[in-house]
Amino acid sequence: DQQVKQNSPSLSVQEGRISILNCDYTNSMFDYFLWYKKYPAEGPTFLISISSIKDKNEDGRFTVFLNKSAKHLSLHIVPSQPGDSAVYFCAGNAGGTSYGKLTFGQGTILTVHP
Amino acid sequence: SQTIHQWPATLVQPVGSPLSLECTVEGTSNPNLYWYRQAAGRGLQLLFYSVGIGQISSEVPQNLSASRPQDRQFILSSKKLLLSDSGFYLCAWSLKQAYGYTFGSGTRLTVV
């Protein structure tokens, strides 16, 4: 049962344009969502998060939107830069006894072309 | 500040050989610890997590085991590796009741 899905394996964007990465989830118990960024041969690094009580969280060029009714979240990167090229994972956390136990999607490979 | 160390960075092992990957955390006490695997073309799959010394929970049945002999040490082991054990193994830690966590740099395991 895949509770977090990133249906786009890859995304290619021109430098300076907007990158939109999407994520869908099925577990209604998720109350916190995170995005991680991963370069090859490195561990993922935390990018941005959002609580389920919010519908938007912004941090510089990165904005995460949450639509609870649709069980959908998205990450917007504006403007995109070549250094943003990486694999992006979204993750959900159900809190409670699952505090800290994240369920990840399959990842989306973002390529930003100069 | 807290740091997480994971080694080795790469490992090539023959089928049937044993495995031991080690992860240590510094700068914190009683963290939650996790082992994840990223298989080729796949996402991050949680293998084991631990909320304390000697307390291990397994998420998926497999050829691997985990142990936590000390508060900040987490070990991933196998008695006999299979080809399907190849992948990128990641250790991570979190504070109690925290929503996210910090990953180590990973170990690329190739079973040949």
Is A10 touching B (CB cutoff 8 A)?
no
Probe site for chain B from A38, A90, A97 (most B CB atoms < 10 A)? A38
List beta partners, residue A87.
Answer: A38, A109
Task: List the alpha helices (DSSP H) in B1-112.
Answer: none
Centre a 10 Å sphere on the Cβ of residue B10 and count the other Cβ atoms it contains.
Answer: 12
Cα torsion at B36, A88, A51, A94 (round to 10°)? -30
> What was the pLDDT predicted at B2?
82
Read off the amino acid at residue B85.
Answer: D
**Region class of B76: left (phi > 0), else alpha (psi between -120 and 50), else beta:** beta
As a whole number, the mean pLDDT across chain B is: 92
Buried b (16+ CB within 10 A) or exposed e, B41-75: eebbbbbbbbbeeeebeeeeeeebebbbeebbebb
Place of tokens 């694999």: A87
Residue pLDDT, tens place only, A17-26:
999 999 999 9
Q: Determine which helix (DSSP H) or strand (DSSP E) holds A25, and give its type and residue range.
A: strand A19-25
Map residue B84 onto helix, strand or coil: helix
pLDDT at B34 > cutoff 90: yes
Q: Determine which helix (DSSP H) or strand (DSSP E) holds B27, and give its type and residue range.
A: none
Chain A contacts in chain B segment 23-42 (CB below 8 A): 32, 34, 36, 42
A98 φ/ψ angles, rounded to the nearest 5 degrees: -100, 15
Residue pLDDT, tens place only, B2-22:
899 999 999 999 999 999 999
pLDDT at A96 > cutoff 70: no
Nearest to B111 by CA among B11, B21, B6: B11
